[in-house]
Structure 1
Amino acid sequence: MATPTEAAATESTERIDPRAQLADWANANDEWVRLLVAEVIATGRPAGTSVVEKAYLLFRQEKALDERELPAIPMLDIEAGQDESAPSLSLTRLSEVRGVNALVAGAVIEPHEGLTILYGENGTGKTGYSRVFKALANSRTADTILGNIDADTSEAQSARLEFKLGEDAQALIWMGELGVSPFTRMSIFDSPAVRTHVDEDLDYVYTPASLALFNDVTTAIQAVTAQIDAAISELGSSGSGLLSRFQRGSTIYPLIESLGASTDLADLKARAKSGIDVDQQLDALTQGVAALRANTLGAQIAGLRSEQRVLSEAGTTAEALLGFEQDKYNEALARRAQLTSDYETFRRELFAAADLPADPDDSWNDFIEAGHTYRQHLVEVEAHDADRCLYCRQPLLDPARDLLTRYSTYLEDKISADIRTTDTTLGAYKRQAAALQGNEMGSFIQQYKDADPSERPTYFAQVEEIEGARCAVATAVVAGHPVSIQIADLVAKVRADVDTALSTVGNSISELEAMQKGRTEALVDKQAELLELKDAVELGKSWSLIETQVKSAKEADRLKTLKRPLPSLGRSVTALAKTASDQLINHSFDALFLEECEALRAPSLKIQFVGREGKAQRRKVLSGKHKPSKVLSEGEQKVLALADFLAEARLAGITAPVIFDDPVSSLDHRRIKEVAQRIARLADDNQVIVFTHDILFATTLLALFEKSKRCAYFQITDENGKGKVSRATGPRIDSLSAIKGRINSTIQAAKQLDGEARDALVHTGYSHLRSWCEVFTEDELLKGVTRRYQANVQMTTLGNINVDKLGQIIPKVCEVFGEACRYIDGHSQALITQGVSPTLGGLEQHWAELQELKKLNEGKTPDGLDPNRAFLEDRLV
């Protein structure tokens, strides 16, 4: 039965080449589409600007928008072929890393062509180097790289990378850019990528060249669509400024305003006028309108109306002056003067004997009236006391009462009442005089006073006479003086002249208005006629532009109609791309993913393949609808993400380094071993770089490469600064073979020395011997059922223990282990035994015994021992 990978490979040979599918699709469409597809398939690149423009021209000619000039595009005949693979990429050296986190300068990493392990505890600087690789690859989880935040100044990011592209050795100075070719082909897995690989709808990092052609075709179709949109936009703006040549109000204007694809050009052209006769008619109408528009009647009417306002005001003022009672006014004024004299005489005589501090005047009068007002108020509120002074509240004596009586007599005097009555009468005359208006007359007189008498209006003298009388009366009344002029003599005669002039002016205005009305109506008619004639003439002059705009509108409408099917054309490319991607990618990925899940014991689930806009995507679900992260444990999610990552990396054939950044966090020891084995198999044929802080994972990987040696190990520490890198053979591994080498080396060194130096080496040899006993018990006797670094008991290996030999082996192992404990510094000894030193012969003998015990456990020594090893037989029995 074929494996999933073999089945996928067999299926791939039976697939139709996507180029052929694309060609068949193009042959069923228009020539311009075939032109674009032929170019994309031939070059393997997006169509250039010149090709897009040619396709647009072919589109226009094919749709009969332009005359056909381009040659016909033949049917496409594509031979099936395969995508070319990119040359292999391998990293050979990373150095001169600067400005990345807090990494110290000077570190050098020289990755092995197989497996490279970069081991370091948390916080030692591993992440800085992994971030450099993520930035170069522009991986899905690439994040912002910061410099040393504790440094006073920031340093620019840079690094030197040496690599091989195919057989060519090259170098690159990286300056912090994201996504640097060819490193974008590297595949990188880290913990943040788990959620991405488990839950999200992922685009494939790898897109076959033939599948990328579909996107290029879609882009080219969109470019032609953009050309159509640009043409529609340009056609819509071709008539800009045409409307400004015509005048709003004509019957032609709305036709120009609504020019479009539906315009009847024949009807519009019938309205156009041209020729010498039309020009002469236009000149005659223009002159006639100008004459009517001169409007001299309007100026005459305006002048007469100004005269009418002057005469009207003069007549009104004359009438008011004649109604002014000049004699009564003068009498009231004389009476007011007499009353004032009598009042002063009365006041002086009344208070002559009152011993006032000063003569009674207006201020004194105000004082008396204020007291009188206050007394009335007290009477009203029933608080007046006639026996007390209003001001000092002292009792009134007879002299004071006599003075108050005089005050009352003064205030109630008839003369005062007569004065008030007379003042009221005079106030009325003042208001009457103030109401007389002379603005129009004043402006009129000011305008003509310096003019020649012959140029003055005939009624100038009359208006001037009336205005002079008005000024004399108003001035006298306001000043309180008698009016001395004879109003009737001055005004009566000129008033009649003014009324006559006013009547004459009114008649003139009526006559001129009647004449103007006829001219206005004639002007309106002639202006409308002129407007129509001008637009009819302009219509003829602008006919070529109008015709072009209408044709452009019709063409724009046709382009809009022809453009409607293009989105569905793009969707058909997307559907075709989805079918091709399903054949090229999805089936292969599905098989690879299942294979990786089986190798990593990842949980089984369903992969859905979804596509949008011609892009292939994958989605993983449980039971048809649940996201894996909602159901699976953290460890299950990790191995599931690893399976997805490895399947994607293998999809195109791995031609660049695969990088793992702490891939086993959250995994138990069994899964760690399975992941290590999978990575080891991957590194057999590919360059693999692993960042880890898990010592078990690192040692498991090293053990898997113990024979092939396709491995390099680097220790990353934070001694003297983060990110210090040193090449090492690996972490200390207490394997039997490693300890065996140390014991043999120690024995050989001890044979070359004597005295205390040999004694010290023998002690060291017994320390190694003790370690050998422990590892032998763990790995060989108990077959790894329990280990010091794992929490579980591995029951699956329990049946591998050689129980038949344990009775022979255990006592001797315990004996040698006890002897070794006596000679190491880690165990305190009794004083009596401290002087007993081990010998080199004893060390060799114990070492030989242990070697025979190992062979016995492995079944390499028969039950009857070699006679040459009698010392061992005696001890075992």
Structure 2
Amino acid sequence: MTTVNPNGESEFVEPEVAELLDPRALLADWANAKDEWVRLLVAEVIATARPVGESTAEKAYQLFRQEKALDERELPVVPQLNIEARQDESAPPLTLTRISEVHGINALVSGSVIEPHEGLTILYGENGTGKTGYSRVFKALANSRTADTILGDIEAGAVEEQSAKLEFTLGDQAQTLAWAGDRGVSPFTRMSIFDSPAVTAHVDDDLDYVYVPVALALFKHVTVAIQAVAGHVDSTIAGLSSGSTGLLSRFQRGSMIYPLIEALGASSDLVDLKSKAKAGKGVDAELDSLTQAVAALRANTMGTQITAFKSQQRVLAQAGAAADALSAFDQAAYNAARVTRTQLGTDYATFRSELFAAADLPAGPDDTWNDFIERGDTYRQHLVALGVHDADRCLYCRQALLDPARDLLTRYSTYLEDKISADIRTTDTTLTTFNRHISSIQGNDMTAFMEEHKDSGEADRPTYFAQVEVIENARSAIAAALADSQTVDIKITELITPAKSTVSNALTTTGMSISELENQQQNRVKVLDDKQTELLELKDAVELGLSWPLIETQVKSAKEADRLRTLKKPMPQMARAITELSKTASNNLINLSFDALFLEECEALRTPPMKLQFVGRDGKAQRRKVMTGKHKPSKVLSEGEQKVLALADFLAEARLAGITAPVIFDDPVSSLDHRRVNEVAQRIAQLADNIQVIVFTHDILFATTLLNLSEKSKRCSLFQITDESGKGQVTRATGLRTDSLSAIRGRINAAIQNAKAQEGEVRDAFVRMAYSHVRAWCEVFTEEELLKGVTKRYRANVQMTTLPSIDGSKLDEIGPKVTEIFEVACRYIDGHSQPLVTLGVSPTLTGLEQHWTELQNLKKVNDRKS
């Protein structure tokens, strides 16, 4: 929580530890009321604090079977569990001391070294300079929620193996890790990492806790162990049920015994089933006799004869139907219609030519022109139906019709309404009816019949072959004539009538033959069916006796499987009970503490009001954030509000276990306003007072705020990341600018030495350069030394706490002289325009040295204690 110390400064105080509740004791009490096999699993989990191994799960399953009298009891009794409540031991603190030899990470150049401070470390760099590469290394080591695949330099010719050297202390021991790209490397998995992709998870998701107390993890281990025993039960049930298919294949579908074997299970009546089995020497003789009788009854030719006659019957029936259809064809009427249609076509062409001879058509009145006339008339009728037709205007161009045009349209109407056209349509309808009648006649069986016997001799062909051929040939010829719109010139009646009579007689004879053969076969089929049924039942009765040991085993297995299913039913309830215990424990160990920590962080970061819900499934603890009306925060809050809410959730989670490893922030203030940037910086600076914090940022306001907040404690290091000589170039920095007094002093001294070594215009240029540095020195000296940093560039606030440090007497003594030299320097630099009277006055090396000496003496005066 946030409190105010005697100095008037705000500080965070960790919440009081909740009343001791040891999940081990909860588990032990629960297990003592359960079966021994459950107690065995819980005892193993509590003793090892790890998931149970396969051997333990197997042992628990064997104990389960023996407890339930499925097997003989051999394993010893599992005693009641007696657990004393205790606290989990905290992990030794982890501190990063050096990261070097980074290779194969994005496009980062080799050779850079980062030596994090034990307090706050700021890694500052503009976008695209390589910060992300270093942060991805930390995310991979920690296996954070947002860790992604690390690529090498995509523009490099060869793929370089990922590696880095990390030096760190774990407790009091200094250690080194040669990292090779692995994810989730202990003890770095204890690091807490926040970045922009993590915002969604911390705002909207049902989130697991990164930190789970060792004792709380026991619930999940017990749940998994019970599920493992349930898995053994399922495997046993599956194994017990797998033998039925092989046994069923020994029996024949259709027998009375087959359905009894098919339904063989725990409820099968073995006494009744065994009474149906047969065995002994007499049975073998009976099998032989029945087998020979069935074989004799099966050896007959009547079935083949009946099949052949039925094939003939189909051909004759089709031939008869075709003959009837051809006899019904009115050949004379068809031919007359053909003649009429031909004459009508000629008359129609003559009529059309004469009607439009004087019409001055661009081409003769052919079919295309005919379509044109008919479509125009169709459109006219459409306009008439709509009531918008104007007979005085052209349908197409809508121009007024002249007399020649009216005459042409009159001819069009006459053409469309003439009797010849109507007669043609009537005749075409008649011809179409004839075509449909002939095309409906089937000939496929006749064609196949003729194809089958075409190469046979006269004596080998059926007596009715010639008649069928006549009918099929007549059908084909007439169909071809109609398809080609030709006249039918064959004598249908003379050809078809004799053939039809012969085919009809053959069809009658064939039908009688089929009936006679079927009557003869009926008795034989019934006898054969009875004997086959008797043989089938006898074979299965004999097989029943041979397979009896397997049948007994299968029924026994089915009964055991049924019992196992019944005994397994309480296991899901056990898992749910474990989840409830886990909720109780997590609510005491995690949720209540997290709730308090979260509210504190929300207060510090000024987040919108938020309600926490705690959910638990399968022995896992989770948290959920909702707003009024149970809305997800992302549906209500702005991007900046979501960012600080996520930060509050992240910090509460990190503090939950007591932070024993670095906390890393990757650009935590993007999308935040000035006020929130300052609040986040204050919280991070407070965090760094006691633990190691690493911040990646490109925000200069945020970085300078962190530096200013850390000035008093001195628990801060700044590294700048640039891409001047390749991405990821890291240099240690004392500030976020290069115009510090020491740096400027070096440049001034260098310029003076260079000027001494030159003459003329070159010396003059070096002197002017030195004066430009003198001007900068005066500004920085005034900002940092005279005004004690009360106001600084990139800092949003005036640091009023340092105002009493300003020595007014020294300011009066030193200020005017510094201002005087500052104004002289301004006259000699190109950045300031000068009046004509001074433009030609060049600075001298002697004057420069004198001014520089005066400034250094003034600094000594300022440094001297009053």
Coarse TM-score class (shorter-chain normalised)? 0.5 to 0.7
Q: Which residue of 2 aligns with 1:280?
A: 282
3-state SS, counterpart of residue 242 of structure 1: helix
3-state SS, counterpart of residue 189 of structure 2: helix
Q: Which residue of 1 aligns with 2:483?
A: none
d(CA) in 2 for partners of 1:288 and 1:664? 95
Q: Does 1:105 align with 2:114?
A: no
Q: What is the Cα deviation at residue 296 of structure 1?
A: 11
d(CA) in 2 for partners of 1:846 and 1:104? 42
Percent identical across equivalent pairs? 60
The residue type paired with residue 160 of structure 2 is E
d(CA) in 2 for partners of 1:527 and 1:193? 77
Q: Measured at CA, do residues 688 and 285 of structure 1 come closer, stay the same or move farther in structure 2, by a change above 3 Å? A: closer
Uncovered stretches (5+) of structure 1, i.e. residues with no partner: 310-373, 383-436, 445-509, 862-877
Q: Does 1:534 align with 2:539?
A: yes
Q: Which residue of 1 aligns with 2:824?
A: 822
Deviation by residue 1:523-562 (Cα, 9 ceiling, x = unmatched): 6555544443433333222222111111211222222222
Q: Measured at CA, do residues 23 and 648 of structure 1 come closer, stay the same or move farther in structure 2, by a change above 3 Å? A: same
The residue type paired with residue 84 of structure 2 is E
Q: Which residue of 2 aligns with 1:768?
A: 777
Q: Which residue of 2 aligns with 1:552?
A: 557
Q: Measured at CA, do residues 823 and 35 of structure 1 come closer, stay the same or move farther in structure 2, by a change above 3 Å? A: same
The residue type paired with residue 9 of structure 1 is E
3-state SS, counterpart of residue 789 of structure 1: coil
Alignment of 1:342-421 (within 5 A): none
d(CA) in 1 for partners of 2:632 and 2:160? 43
Q: What is the Cα deviation at residue 806 of structure 1?
A: 8.4
Deviation by residue 1:452-494 (Cα, 9 ceiling, x = unmatched): xxxxxxxxxxxxxxxxxxxxxxxxxxxxxxxxxxxxxxxxxxx
Q: Which residue of 2 aligns with 1:869?
A: none
d(CA) in 2 for partners of 1:255 and 1:681? 80
Q: Is the 8 A contact 2:49 2:218 kept in 1?
A: yes
d(CA) in 1 for partners of 2:277 and 2:458? 58
Q: Measured at CA, do residues 638 and 823 of structure 1 come closer, stay the same or move farther in structure 2, by a change above 3 Å? A: same
3-state SS, counterpart of residue 82 of structure 1: coil
Tell me which of 203, 219, 244 is aligned to 1:239.
Answer: 244
Q: Does 1:294 align with 2:303?
A: no
Q: Is the 8 A contact 1:293 1:523 kept in 2?
A: no
Q: Is the 8 A contact 2:786 2:862 kept in 1?
A: no
Q: Which residue of 1 aligns with 2:411?
A: none
Q: Measured at CA, do residues 635 and 775 of structure 1 come closer, stay the same or move farther in structure 2, by a change above 3 Å? A: farther
Q: Which residue of 1 aligns with 2:376?
A: none
Alignment of 1:771-782 (within 5 A): 771-774=780-783
Larger Rg: 1
3-state SS, counterpart of residue 249 of structure 2: helix
Alignment of 1:280-679 (within 5 A): 280-284=282-286, 286-287=288-289, 289-291=291-293, 293-294=295-296, 525-679=530-684
d(CA) in 2 for partners of 1:283 and 1:776? 125
Uncovered stretches (5+) of structure 2, i.e. residues with no partner: 4-10, 310-338, 348-453, 462-515
Q: Which residue of 2 aligns with 1:263?
A: 268
Alignment of 1:716-727 (within 5 A): 716-727=721-732
Q: What is the Cα deviation at residue 244 of structure 1?
A: 2.6
Q: Which residue of 1 aligns with 2:72?
A: 67
Q: Which residue of 2 aligns with 1:336?
A: none
Worse-superposed segment, 556-565 or 124-133: 556-565
Worse-superposed segment, 106-115 or 802-811: 802-811
d(CA) in 2 for partners of 1:680 and 1:241? 74
Q: Measured at CA, do residues 852 and 536 of structure 1 come closer, stay the same or move farther in structure 2, by a change above 3 Å? A: same
d(CA) in 1 for partners of 2:61 and 2:802? 77
Q: What is the Cα deviation at residue 819 of structure 1?
A: 4.2
Q: Is the 8 A contact 2:579 2:619 kept in 1?
A: yes
Q: What is the Cα deviation at residue 211 of structure 1?
A: 0.9
Q: TM-score, normalization: structure 2?
A: 0.65
Q: Is the 8 A contact 1:766 1:843 kept in 2?
A: no
Q: Which residue of 2 aligns with 1:20?
A: 25
Q: Is the 8 A contact 1:8 1:587 kept in 2?
A: no
Q: Measured at CA, do residues 634 and 775 of structure 1 come closer, stay the same or move farther in structure 2, by a change above 3 Å? A: farther
Q: What is the Cα deviation at residue 6 of structure 1?
A: 6.9
Tell me which of 3, 17, 23 is aligned to 1:10.
Answer: 17
Q: Is the 8 A contact 1:118 1:690 kept in 2?
A: yes
d(CA) in 2 for partners of 1:810 and 1:191? 50
The residue type paired with residue 659 of structure 1 is I
Q: Which residue of 1 aligns with 2:130?
A: 125
Q: TM-score, normalization: structure 1?
A: 0.64
Q: Measured at CA, do residues 118 and 842 of structure 1 come closer, stay the same or move farther in structure 2, by a change above 3 Å? A: closer
d(CA) in 2 for partners of 1:599 and 1:131? 28
The residue type paired with residue 822 of structure 2 is A
Q: What is the Cα deviation at residue 788 of structure 1?
A: 4.6
d(CA) in 2 for partners of 1:699 and 1:688? 16
d(CA) in 2 for partners of 1:819 and 1:135? 55
Q: Does 1:176 align with 2:185?
A: no
Alignment RMSD (CA, Å): 4.8
Q: Which residue of 2 aligns with 1:77?
A: 82
Q: What is the Cα deviation at residue 80 of structure 1?
A: 1.0
Q: What is the Cα deviation at residue 676 of structure 1?
A: 3.1
Q: Is the 8 A contact 2:101 2:164 kept in 1?
A: yes
Tell me which of 189, 210, 215 is aligned to 2:194.
Answer: 189
3-state SS, counterpart of residue 58 of structure 2: helix
d(CA) in 2 for partners of 1:623 and 1:75? 48
Q: Is the 8 A contact 1:599 1:678 kept in 2?
A: yes
